[in-house]
Amino acid sequence: MGRAARSAALAGLTAWVLLAGLLLAPPARAAEQLAEAADALAAGPGVWAAEDYEDIDEQALALMRARYADARTPVRVALLTEEIPEGDAAAEELAARVGEPGVYLVFNEVHTPVSDSPSTAYAWAVADVPVSTEQLSAEMYARVGIPSGHFLLSLSDALDNDLRPAVAATAGAEPFFVDPAVTAAFPELDAALLRDSFAGVPNVRAALVSGLGGDLAEAQAPMLTGLPDDGVAVLIQWEDDGSFSAVFGAGPDVPFDISDLETVIGASGITDLPVREVPQRLALLAALLSPAEVTETARDALAEAPVYVHPGISDWRTGPEELAALGEELAAADPAAGVAFLPHPVLELRAGGTLPSEESALAELVAPEGRNVAVFTVDPYHGGHVRDTSATGDAAFVEAADWAHGSEAFIGETLTDLLGEMDRLGITEPTADGAEPATGGADATGPRTAAQILLLAVAALLLPVLARNLTPRGRRARRVRAAARRRGLLAALPAERAAVLLAEAERAARATDEQLIRLGDDLARVPRPAGAAALRRLQRLRSDYEWVLDVRAHLASREEVGGIRKDIARLRRALGRLPSPTGTSGD
């Protein structure tokens, strides 16, 4: 081989060696992230996460940090967003850099151009503690499936066995336990919350924890020891994405199935309890199991105040001050009026699966004698929305309640809308000087300019074509996120089981499709109403119809079909009450 050929071969070999080194060596940024993580974790056990790490949210990070802070076996976790070497080299390097005994875990996620989901890898190492990598592997695989908990939060109990004995103790004198790490991360979630939520509800045991190690059924079993025949035990632990999950045990005399309990507390059989909603979800479960009737509790509350919102319900926007002010306005407009917001799923289950068919029946159960009362039943999950309305009392009040409507801030908006409808229909107390009350129309509702009325008329003409684009973005985005979340939970099930559940939901919904199509056709054929008030009603009906279509399009569970049927019936009734058009001119 000549000198030139040898030089060329050597240059080629050098290039391949350099290329191989680039491919096999840890990327520079990964090394930088690992060094940054080591510096942060040298101060003590905990979690370090790269800024753009997406798989674990801030609430989970807060809970992990609280859990590791008091764990007997030190655990340090680094969450990176760059490639790491194969095997456990990254975790071993982290352990060497920190130089302290404990368990070291490194996880990474790397986005690639060929996939919507990042590629992931993990590594672990153990330094001078009596833990084996086989233990870590066994605990990780024990967390496969839903609900099963989260590996990074069950690990400490798997290693230290510090939470399982406390959970087992709920079978004794103290039936409630909250993991101190949960309270440290989320101060509103403490043992007092459990005691207060289930006050007056006998034979309930509840544990709220970051995560239990080992087999979930084995960890739950001690809670069920000596459980009374009418007793219920619920174990709530962190699952994923800012949410807890719940598993139940129940005695043979509990009048509800396990699936009923799961659905009430978790929105579906795949339980999902967002952190901020835990107090409300506990209140829903307590209402289901309580010896007191939900309607009787509401009746007693309305004897003391004009508005009652069940503690299991919130729209996360209407605060106590606004609610009190709206209650004062309602009392001023009609001292005989009362409004209750009650949880639909609890009422339905306690009624044996079906609420009274008469529109006024539920309100009559709640109304103190001689009162005008509206009951808005609420689906309290995924932000919540009013499911149905029942009203009793004067005809004008019943009509006003039936038209009252809200979207995202459904409590405040529904009350505000009710007050507006009451004003329009002339339901107003006489003024102090004896003047006649307002009876609706332009003077009662404020100045209405010709331009405003023209805009309403144009909107009514365009709505049949554009209504799909007029749904508020915030509400649509929330519904889409909720549907995507439910489908994500379904995706975690075995494929065959998820397909069966979705197929059941689709079959159940097909019976409503023809009704939805006919309703849409009828709404599109409604002529432009002559008056601005009627225009407003028609706009509201079309907006509600679009909401029902959206629910149908994102159907992810059979339970939603009953709500679609009731929505169709409600819209049909409202459509039948629209005034007949008297011409094409405005007011």
Cβ partners under 8 Å of residue 159, min gap 6: 71, 72, 73, 75, 103, 131, 135, 213
pLDDT value for 208: 98
Looking at 288, 313, 333, the residue that finishes a domain is 288
pLDDT value for 47: 98
Judgement on whether residues 258 and 346 belong to the same structural domain of the protein: no
Mean pLDDT of 212-232: 96
Asked if residue 249 has pLDDT above 90, the reply is yes
Cβ partners under 8 Å of residue 503, min gap 6: none
Cβ partners under 8 Å of residue 127, min gap 6: 95, 100, 101, 102, 104
List, for residues 97-156, the tens digit of each pLDDT value: 999 999 999 999 998 888 778 889 999 999 999 999 999 999 999 998 878 899 999 999
Asked if residue 478 has pLDDT above 60, the reply is no
pLDDT value for 133: 93
pLDDT value for 356: 73
- Residue 284, domain CATH: 3.10.310
Domain of residue 101: give its range.
32-131
pLDDT value for 562: 67
Q: How many CA atoms lie within 13 A of 316 on its CB side?
A: 16
Give the β-pairing of 243-250 and 119-127.
unpaired
Higher pLDDT, 23 or 211: 211
Whether the bond between 147 and the residue before it is cis, its omega within 30 degrees of 0, is yes
Residue 202 located in a structural domain: yes
pLDDT value for 573: 76
Q: Give the other-Cβ count within 10 Å of 199's Cβ.
A: 9
Mean pLDDT of 347-356: 85
Distances (CA, A) of 133 to 123, 213, 558: 10, 15, 43
- The domain tally of the chain equals 4
pLDDT value for 6: 46
List, for residues 458-472, the tens digit of each pLDDT value: 344 434 433 333 333
Residue 251 located in a structural domain: yes
User: At 122, is the secondary structure helix, strand, or coil?
Assistant: strand
Judgement on whether residues 54 and 127 belong to the same structural domain of the protein: yes
In three state form, how does the secondary structure of 66-88 look? HHHHHCCCCEEEEEECCCCCCCC
Judgement on whether residues 300 and 413 belong to the same structural domain of the protein: yes
Judgement on whether residues 299 and 274 belong to the same structural domain of the protein: no
Higher pLDDT, 155 or 475: 155
Kindly report the pTM of this predicted structure: 0.71
pLDDT value for 485: 52
Q: Which residue's structure tokens are 């996360």?
A: 316
> Do 15 and 71 form a contact (C-beta atoms < 8 A)?
no
> Do 453 and 441 form a contact (C-beta atoms < 8 A)?
no
pLDDT value for 546: 85
Residue 263 corresponds to which amino acid?
T
pLDDT value for 155: 97
Residue 269 located in a structural domain: yes
pLDDT range class, residue 581, cuts 50, 70, 90 = low
Q: Which helix (H) or strand (E) holds 48?
A: strand 46-49
Judgement on whether residues 381 and 339 belong to the same structural domain of the protein: yes
Query: First-to-last CA distance in the chain?
Result: 101
Select from 498, 503, 514, 505 the least CA-distant residue to 568: 514
Looking at 288, 309, 341, the residue that finishes a domain is 288
DSSP category for residue 270: S
pLDDT value for 240: 80
Give the β-pairing of 337-343 and 307-309.
parallel
Higher pLDDT, 528 or 292: 292
Residue 478 located in a structural domain: no
Higher pLDDT, 19 or 547: 547
List, for residues 362-421, the tens digit of each pLDDT value: 999 999 888 999 999 999 998 899 999 999 999 999 999 999 988 889 999 999 999 999
pLDDT value for 539: 78
Judgement on whether residues 377 and 501 belong to the same structural domain of the protein: no
Looking at 248, 268, 288, the residue that finishes a domain is 288
Asked if residue 501 has pLDDT above 90, the reply is no
Asked if residue 7 has pLDDT above 90, the reply is no
For the ranges 133-137, 420-424, 426-430, the lowest mean pLDDT is seen at 426-430
Higher pLDDT, 437 or 224: 224
Residue 498 corresponds to which amino acid?
A
For the ranges 327-341, 432-446, 493-507, 570-584, the lowest mean pLDDT is seen at 432-446
Higher pLDDT, 90 or 485: 90
Q: What percent of the chain has pLDDT over 70?
A: 80
Asked if residue 423 has pLDDT above 50, the reply is yes
Residue 139 located in a structural domain: no
pLDDT range class, residue 561, cuts 50, 70, 90 = confident
Judgement on whether residues 337 and 400 belong to the same structural domain of the protein: yes
Judgement on whether residues 182 and 280 belong to the same structural domain of the protein: yes
Mean pLDDT of the chain: 83
Angle at the Cα of 201 from the Cα atoms of 363 and 265, rounded to 5 degrees: 70
What are the phi and psi torsion angles at 9 (to 5°)?
Answer: -65, -45
For the ranges 59-68, 177-186, 511-520, the lowest mean pLDDT is seen at 511-520
Residue 398 located in a structural domain: yes
What token pair was written down for 63? Answer: 């809970």
Residue 279 located in a structural domain: yes
Q: Is 557 exposed, middle or buried (0-12, 13-18, 19+ CB in 10 A)?
A: buried
Judgement on whether residues 120 and 239 belong to the same structural domain of the protein: no
Q: How far apart are CA 318 and CA 145, in angstroms?
A: 37
Judgement on whether residues 394 and 510 belong to the same structural domain of the protein: no
pLDDT value for 470: 35
Q: How far apart are CA 190 and CA 180, in angstroms?
A: 8
Asked if residue 81 has pLDDT above 70, the reply is yes
Mean pLDDT of 46-52: 94
pLDDT range class, residue 432, cuts 50, 70, 90 = very low
pLDDT value for 247: 95
pLDDT range class, residue 454, cuts 50, 70, 90 = very low
Residue 587 located in a structural domain: no
Judgement on whether residues 234 and 313 belong to the same structural domain of the protein: no
pLDDT value for 576: 77
Judgement on whether residues 273 and 313 belong to the same structural domain of the protein: no
pLDDT value for 473: 39
pLDDT value for 510: 81
For the ranges 131-140, 162-171, 212-221, 503-512, the lowest mean pLDDT is seen at 503-512
Q: Which helix (H) or strand (E) holds 155?
A: helix 151-160
What token pair was written down for 255? Answer: 């009048």
Higher pLDDT, 579 or 273: 273
Higher pLDDT, 446 or 333: 333
